[in-house]
Amino acid sequence: MEALLAMLVGLITAAAFYLMLSGMLVRFVFGFTLMGNAVNLLIFTAGRLTHSDPPLIEPGQTGLAGPVANALPQALILTAIVIGFAMVTFLLILLYRTHHQTGTLDADQDAFLTEISLSEKGKVS
Amino acid sequence: MQSIILKTATRLMVGLMLVFAVYLLLRGHHEPGGGFVAALVSGTAFALFAITEGPAQLRRAIRVRPSVIAMTGLAVAAAAGFPALFAGMPYLTGIWWKIGEISLGTPLIFDVGVFLAVLGAIVSLLLALEEN
Amino acid sequence: MSRIFLTTETVPDCCRAGRISSLFPLSVFVLLCFAWPGIVNGHVYQAQSAWIPSLGLNLGFRLDGLSFLFCLIITLAGFFVTLFSASYMAGKPNLFSYFFYLHAFMVAMLGIVTADHLLLLFVFWEATTVLSYLLIGFDHENTTARENARQAILVTGAGGLFLLFGILLLKTMGAPMALSQWTQMGMDIREHFLYPFIFLCILVGAMTKSAQVPFHFWLPNAMSAPTPISAFLHAATMVKAGIYLLMRFHPLLGGTSLWMGTLVVVGGITALWGAIQALAPCDLKRVLAYTTLMALGILTLFLGGQTVASLTAAATFLLVHALYKAALFLATGSIDHQCRTRDLRNLGGLFSAMPLTMLAVAAATLSMAGFPLFFGFIGKEIMYEGALSEEMFPGFATLATLFANSLMTAVAGIILLTPFFGTRPPSLGQVHEVPWTMRLGPAVMGGIGVVFGLFPEWVSANLIQPAVFAFHPSREEIRLVFFHGFNLPLLLSMITLTLGSVIYIFRISLRHRIQDVIDRLWITTPRIYQKSLDAFVAGGTWFVRRTQTGMLHTYFAVIMVTVLLIAGWAWIPHMGAALIVPDMAQISIASGICLFILAATGVVLMAKKRLVAIGGLGAVGAGVALIFLMFGAPDIALTQLLVETLTVIIFSLVLLRLPLLRTVRKRSRSRNLFDAGLSICAGILVTSFLMGLLQVPLDRNLTTFFEHYSYVAAHGRNIVNVILVDFRSLDTLGEISVVVLAAWAGVVLIRRQEKE
């Protein structure tokens, strides 16, 4: 099962990179979101998928009755998901600002390039 | 949006979701849930509310500025670490008090801080985007 | 005491703080005086405290005769300069920074001369470089001042790197880093094959700081600093730091023919070139700057020697020069302050207007010219004695000293006679004497020159001898005397005075000739400096133009290729063993979910419409959430689902306001193929990496710890939550801060746009 997930992670990563390379900023954000999912899955798989019981201690007991899923990667992923969400939102707002300023969402277009370099020049002088 | 059915349903839903969020927050230490999840549930509820009623209504409904919520959350979470310092332990070590059957501890306060911080962040983003 | 400092004369209130702050160097000076008897008896005061023990770095300070001499000069000059500045700088902006830099510089300078550990010395050395940058460029709205400050920091900063390199070379050779341990060193560094490199590094450090040819050009340009700063940094203290360094290293590295030859030649050329150029400018301050070059050259020249006479000459002239040069700089500041000009062509006849300043200048210049009865005369006698006793090139040393001194005598005449005598140009108008705060420094320092000239034996016993003994093994008594009898040094002194007078008479025509020669020089270090600076900037611009194309695709592809190469370099040999074929016998619901996620990813990839892509993203997220749920992670499954919902909402909010995807122009086929190839490589790398990781046994130590203590110690049954809010709560605090910051930044971005 882990091998299957490893392949899935690789495929999502490839798709994410392809989207991020496209130069279209909207697709870049799509790729970024996919990337977040792939990384979360990677951490999850690296922590092994052996047991399907959640890491919860039964009421009335002080310890685990039997083996449970690895709690450590879960804690890592939980915050990673929320931070990833915050980052995607921030990226979207950046995208919005970029469009407002350059009038395009195509990072390869001249309008985009000239606008960016112009605003940089404006800062220097 | 103008649909009365949607509006009525939303009000009901938002109320239920907020109650559910508080429930998730409180039980988080023992069952699935916790500050992050509770914040996301209530954030979704507010998003729903903002879509049907408009951002101005949402602002009025929550009364407090969302950035203040976020900052309060951070402050609460950071403050939850101080009792440990007074007890001579490293910052943010959990300190517990037993009141009858219920045990209360700084990690629970910390979780409330997490809840407020994430909720504040989500709502301020939502409002900024909706009002734009 | 305090009443004297608090009385207001003609100075506005704002300078009181400056005056009061002059108590700081004064109190250090008084403290030093308590150590004086001990120093004369050869006692060395030491203080130590641990700094970075793991690197063997201690905050060790020691005060011996040499440090003591420097400390006296620094604190005394510091006191008068601070007092002078209080009036001179009155009404200028940023006075707080000014006095702060000034005192910080003084502390750093004291640190250099008292540091025991070489690296500590280096730290203070760099501190003076940075502070002198701030002080030279104090008038930072002036472009020239900024450029000159930059020149100073680039030249002296580069020299500082050489010094550091030299120190580290010494360390690798096993030489002790503490000055106090040098005497117990078992080996002789002079015989080591690295000796020439160490010598060169230390020398370049000293040469840049002490403005030796060919690194001299920054010093005259540093005259754009406020005049009291020039008096302090460029006459009495900072430029002497290089001299101090050479003195300190003298017992360790000195005595070889390399050391002697190089120092005599470099010092002699600097002295001559500085003295010649001193005749050229009309700006009084620049004249002084060039005479400082001459003095620094002379000092270097004498440090090339090995005899007691030569080193005594260096130590004596150090004191002589510090006294008269600081006095002259301050007096120049007074003239500039009262006349609003320091151009020699516009000055004259100030004799009656500024009599007290004139007296101070007279004392200082006569000492500078080396007239009998003045301390400078004593200094000149010992100079000739030292030059004649040099082991390498004594003839060159003597001639260089003779000519430089003669030129100095002429320049001393110019400085004294031109501004104060003759007729006063009408352009000057009414000129008044300066307040006492500005008179005190030149008067006292000029006066000390006279007193020392009358009691040379006291000076040699109490100041010069302890200083020389600190860096020379000889213990024969050093005596400076009033009159040596009729001998060669006296004859040379007479020649100097005569030659100086002749040069003074021809000063105007000489000024034009020298200026002419300087203008015609086809290769000069300032020009090389400017050329290389320009080339550096041009090279940087070219490099940035080439690498920073502004193309997102290029940046991203470069990053990816780099990562792939670095990771692949290590990983590809193991990749074959890592790749495993999934066990298809275990086909379960989970593999169905995997297929679903794959299909959804395909939808995102192929989507022509934005809404479809968003839907695909949501499906991928939901699929991932299902996987989490199936393998015992309800917490993150819930979180993932909720985040997916919110993400879709926010995507829709933003993207609905943006133009559609199809307005975008198509990419070329080769570009798409390149992207696809790169992405597939990355995917394979990640997959094989994860598969390899899965073949390594899992370390469950941490997990076991958390599982064991979750309820017992942290009172929580949900282990994931306990990790988040208890075991690793500091991490979580950091993470929610990131979330809040990201939201804050996003809101600010949108708000700014609304304002625009």
> Comparing C-alpha atoms, which of C73, C730, B38, C722 is closest to residue A75?
C722
8 Å CB contact of A86 and B36: no
pLDDT < 70 positions in chain C: 1-15, 186, 583-587, 660-665
> Comparing C-alpha atoms, which of C71, C69, C28 is closest to residue C471?
C69
8 Å CB contact of C718 and B111: no
Whole-number Cα distances in Å, C481 to C66, C485, C494, C555: 21, 10, 17, 75
Show residues of chain B in contact with C753, CB under 8 Å: 132
Helix (H, G, I), strand (E, B) or coil at C744: helix
> Comparing C-alpha atoms, which of A79, C722, C734, A88 is closest to residue B74?
C734
| B53 touching chain C per CB within 8 A | no
CA atoms of C22 and B25, how far apart (whole Å): 63
* Cross-chain CB nearest to B125 (options A54, A59, A89): A89
> Comparing C-alpha atoms, which of A34, A92, A95, A84 is closest to residue C604?
A34
Q: Are C301 and C272 in contact (CB under 8 A)?
A: no
Range of the domain at B105: 4-131
Same domain membership, residue C212 and residue C84: yes
A16-33 pLDDT tens trace: 999 999 888 888 999 999
8 Å CB contact of A89 and B40: no
Shortest distance, CA C612 to any CA of chain B (angstroms): 21
8 Å CB contact of A5 and C627: yes
Whole-number Cα distances in Å, C423 to C251, C344, C347, C458: 53, 13, 9, 41
Q: Are C297 and C262 in contact (CB under 8 A)?
A: no
Identify the residue among A82, A87, A99 best suited for mutation to test binding to B, counting B beta carbons within 10 A and taking the highest.
Answer: A82
Q: Are C617 and A30 in contact (CB under 8 A)?
A: yes
Shortest distance, CA B28 to any CA of chain A (angstroms): 11
CA atoms of C132 and C238, how far apart (whole Å): 8
pLDDT in the model for residue C680: 95
Q: Can you say whether the dihedral through the CA atoms of C466, C472, C475, C477 is positive or negative? A: negative
Give domain status of residue C80, yes or no: yes
Shortest distance, CA C660 to any CA of chain B (angstroms): 19
Name the residue type at position A118: L
CA atoms of C130 and C392, how far apart (whole Å): 36
Helix (H, G, I), strand (E, B) or coil at C51: strand
Phi-psi region of B31 (alpha: psi -120 to 50; beta: other; left: phi over 0): beta
> Alpha helix locations (H) across C278-393?
284-303, 308-339, 355-369, 375-388
Give domain status of residue C8, yes or no: no
CA atoms of A73 and A44, how far apart (whole Å): 6
Q: In what helix (H) or strand (E) does residue C27 lie, and over which residues does it extend?
A: helix C23-40
Q: Quick one: tokens of A49?
A: 């998928």
Angle at which helix C488-505 crosses helix C507-520, to 10 degrees, equals 90
Q: Give me the CATH number covering residue C607.
A: 1.20.120
8 Å CB contact of B107 and C725: yes
CA atoms of A73 and A71, how far apart (whole Å): 6
Shortest distance, CA A107 to any CA of chain C (angstroms): 6
Whole-number Cα distances in Å, C750 to B45, B127, C744: 23, 11, 10
Q: In what helix (H) or strand (E) does residue C47 lie, and over which residues does it extend?
A: strand C45-52
Same domain membership, residue C727 and residue C661: no
Which residue from B minimizes the CA distance to C742?
A: B121
C567, with CB counted inside 10 A (0-12, 13-18, 19+), is middle
C575-632 pLDDT tens trace: 888 877 776 666 677 888 999 999 999 999 988 888 899 999 999 999 999 999 988 8
Q: In degrees rounded to 5, what are phi and psi of residue C582? A: -60, 145
Whole-number Cα distances in Å, B108 to A62, B36, C714: 19, 13, 11
Shortest distance, CA B42 to any CA of chain A (angstroms): 14
CA atoms of C600 and C339, how far apart (whole Å): 84
Half-sphere exposure of B112 toward its Cβ, with a 13 Å CA cutoff? 13
Show residues of chain C in contact with B30, CB under 8 Å: 716-718
Q: In what helix (H) or strand (E) does residue C737 lie, and over which residues does it extend?
A: helix C729-755
Which residue from B minimizes the CA distance to C643?
A: B40
What DSSP character marks residue C142? S
Number of domains comprising chain C? 4
Show residues of chain A in contact with C659, CB under 8 Å: 99, 105
Q: How many residues does chain A have?
A: 125
Helix (H, G, I), strand (E, B) or coil at C455: coil
Same domain membership, residue C670 and residue C636: yes
pLDDT in the model for residue C9: 44
Which residue from B minimizes the CA distance to A80?
A: B36
pLDDT in the model for residue C387: 87
What DSSP character marks residue C53? G
> Comparing C-alpha atoms, which of C248, C149, C153 is closest to residue C206?
C248
Same domain membership, residue C359 and residue C442: yes
Whole-number Cα distances in Å, C393 to C41, C384, C400: 35, 14, 11
Same domain membership, residue C576 and residue C524: no
Q: Are C84 and C45 in contact (CB under 8 A)?
A: no
Chains that touch C (3 or more CB pairs under 8 A): A, B
Beta-carbon count within 10 A of C590 CB: 17
Range of the domain at C592: 556-702
Same domain membership, residue C675 and residue C630: yes
* Cross-chain CB nearest to C601 (options A34, A88, A109): A34
8 Å CB contact of A93 and B129: yes
Whole-number Cα distances in Å, C279 to C150, C216, C343, C358, C423: 26, 16, 13, 21, 21
Give the per-residue SS3 of C390-447: CCCCHHHHHHHHHHHHHHHHHHHHHHHHHHHCCCCCHHHCCCCCCCHHHHHHHHHHHH
Greatest Cα pair distance, chain B, in angstroms, is 59
> How large is the ipTM?
0.94
What are the structural domains, with CATH classification, of chain A?
A: 2-57+66-124 (1.10.287)
Which residue from B minimizes the CA distance to C633?
A: B32
* Cross-chain CB nearest to B121 (options A54, A86, A93): A86
Helix (H, G, I), strand (E, B) or coil at A104: coil
Q: In what helix (H) or strand (E) does residue C151 lie, and over which residues does it extend?
A: helix C143-172
Show residues of chain C in contact with A77, CB under 8 Å: 628, 633, 636
Give the per-residue SS3 of C300-323: HHHHCCCCHHHHHHHHHHHHHHHH
Task: Please report the residues numbered 99 through 118 in chain B whose beta carbons come closer than 8 angstroms to any beta carbon of chain C.
Answer: 103, 105, 107-108, 110-111, 113-114, 117-118
Same domain membership, residue C177 and residue C128: yes
Instruction: Give the list of residues 6+ apart from residue C696 with CB closer than 8 angstroms, or none.
Output: none
pLDDT < 70 positions in chain B: 1-2, 100
pLDDT in the model for residue C300: 94
Beta bridge partners of C117: C178
8 Å CB contact of A95 and C582: no
Same domain membership, residue C729 and residue C659: no
Tell whether omega for the bond before C214 is within 30 degrees of 0, i.e. cis.
Answer: yes
CA atoms of C271 and C264, how far apart (whole Å): 10
8 Å CB contact of B121 and A56: no
Same domain membership, residue C485 and residue C560: no
> Strand C57-63 vs strand C45-52: parallel, antiparallel, or unpaired?
antiparallel
Same domain membership, residue C193 and residue C51: yes
Beta-carbon count within 10 A of A93 CB: 25
C433-460 pLDDT tens trace: 888 889 999 999 999 989 998 898 899 9
Same domain membership, residue C735 and residue C683: no
* Cross-chain CB nearest to C746 (options B77, B110, B128): B128
Beta bridge partners of C62: C46
Shortest distance, CA C640 to any CA of chain A (angstroms): 7
Show residues of chain C in contact with B128, CB under 8 Å: 746-747, 750-751
Helix (H, G, I), strand (E, B) or coil at A56: strand
Q: Are B122 and B130 in contact (CB under 8 A)?
A: no
Beta-carbon count within 10 A of C348 CB: 17
Give domain status of residue C19, yes or no: no
DSSP per-residue codes, B92-107: T---EEEETTEEEEHH
8 Å CB contact of A82 and B32: no
Name the residue type at position C144: T
Q: In degrees rounded to 5, what are phi and psi of residue C588? A: -135, -175
Number of domains comprising chain B? 1
8 Å CB contact of C646 and B47: yes
Beta bridge partners of C59: C49
DSSP per-residue codes, C680-735: HHHHHHHHHHHHHHHHSPP--HHHHHHHHHHHHTT--SBHHHHIIIIITHHHHHHH
Whole-number Cα distances in Å, C43 to B111, C75, C461: 65, 21, 14
pLDDT < 50 positions in chain A: 118-125
Residue for token pair 């020159």: C449
Q: Quick one: tokens of A97?
A: 């600002």
Same domain membership, residue C313 and residue C433: yes
> Alpha helix locations (H) across chain A?
2-21, 25-46, 71-102, 110-124
Show residues of chain A in contact with C559, CB under 8 Å: none
Show residues of chain C in contact with B118, CB under 8 Å: 736, 739
Q: Can you say whether the dihedral through the CA atoms of C430, C431, C437, C440 is positive or negative? A: negative
Helix (H, G, I), strand (E, B) or coil at A22: coil
| A60 touching chain B per CB within 8 A | no
Whole-number Cα distances in Å, C263 to C258, C290, C357: 8, 19, 37
Instruction: Report yes or no on whether pTM surpasses 0.80.
Output: no
Q: Quick one: tokens of C471?
A: 């860096």
